[in-house]
Structure 1
Amino acid sequence: MDSDVILSVPFMHPDAQRLVEEVQAEYVVRYGGRDNTPIDPQAFEPPDGLFLVAYRDGVPVATGAWRRRDDVEVFGTRRTAEIKRMYVTPQARGTGLARRMLARLEDTAADVGSEAMVLETGTAQPEAMALYESSGYARIESFGHYRWSPSNRCYAKRIARISSP
């Protein structure tokens, strides 16, 4: 939609934090508790990360972020970026905003040399799994804070830029 704009903001920006709290409330409903993955706000500062907020008519309605994860190897590379805090408010769902946010995350991570995107989600988020699978993500071995959980699902996608000779 023409009224949507996606902006880079600091992790601690009030709009970012409000939406992070909304997604945490959704995790409580879906999983019975908050996401306790350790998060360092500095991990989302360029060039090693990025935090984005999407605004619709000036109202914050979605977030998406990535941080470098050179400890996760996929597709023969450790130049990976991990997606975090993908969230679209209920009133903005079904409009393609999540897909646009995902594309922006992939592009910005590739722009700074990441070769693959990785992420953790769970079986209580079937719409997230469907988004990632329909966007070219493949299931990979579990990693991260919840790798032990039977509901954990991890995905990866190659995003490396192809160099021209």
Structure 2
Amino acid sequence: MPESVWVAQSDPRVRPLLADLAREYSTRYHRVLADVHFELREYPAEHFAPPHGGLLVLLQEQRAVAGGAFQRYDDDTAELKRIWTHRAHRGRGLGRRVVAELETEIALRGYTRIHLTTGPNQPEARALYLATGYTPHFDVDAVPTTRLRFSKALPAPVGSR
């Protein structure tokens, strides 16, 4: 069972996550790899750091196998970013685990809603968010051609930090 670790974006264990995401986005969207690398770093590291954000990595044998992050969207809403599972570890429920752990932390930070977008060429992400209770803000029966927006209201946290 992978270990959950909250890290800074500069942590070396995050590099495989960002590199794999860049390769995946480059392939799926037929974009130049260097441009995707730049895009993944477009948000300052502090966006994914306390008190308003966080970055979670699941480690197995000290290697990143899944992860994800959140940042402040507005006073009440966090935005999920960079949800990722290494292709060799897909189908094991790690994406669901990442989303659940991010949601728990987001609620503990006082947010009451989550917002996210995913690309039209990411059917696995779309399926993950639908399966985990996110509300789609698009026609789920249409062939997607633009970014897909989702949201979710969070229950009140049992405890707070």
Q: Same fold (TM over 0.5)?
A: yes
Deviations 1:117-137 (A, max 9, x none): 111101200010000001000
Match in the other structure for 1:126: 123
- Equivalent position SS for 1:128: helix
Query: Which residue in 2 is equivalent to 1:40?
Result: 44
TM-score by length of 2: 0.85
Q: 1:65 aligns with which of 58, 62, 69?
A: 69
Structure showing the higher helix proportion among its residues? 2
Q: Identity over aligned residues, as a percent?
A: 33
Q: Which consecutive residues of structure 1, in runs of 5 or more, have no partner in the other structure?
A: 71-77, 142-148
Q: Give the C-alpha shift of residue 151 in structure 1.
A: 2.2
Partners of 1:162 and 1:51 in 2: CA distance: 20
Q: Distance in 2 between matches of 1:150 and 1:93?
A: 25
Map of 1:81 onto structure 2: 78
User: Quick one: distance in 2 between partners of 1:41 and 1:18?
Assistant: 16
Secondary structure in 1 matching 2:8: coil
- 1:39 match: secondary structure: coil
The reply on whether 1:159 has 2:154 as its aligned counterpart is: yes
Aligned: 1:140 with 2:137 = yes
103, 109, 114: which one aligns with 1:112: 109
Count how many residue pairs are aligned between Structure 1 and Structure 2: 148
Give the deviation of 1:6 after TM superposition.
1.0
Mark the runs of 5 or more structure 2 residues left unpaired by the alignment: 139-143
Compute the displacement of 1:162 (Å). 5.9
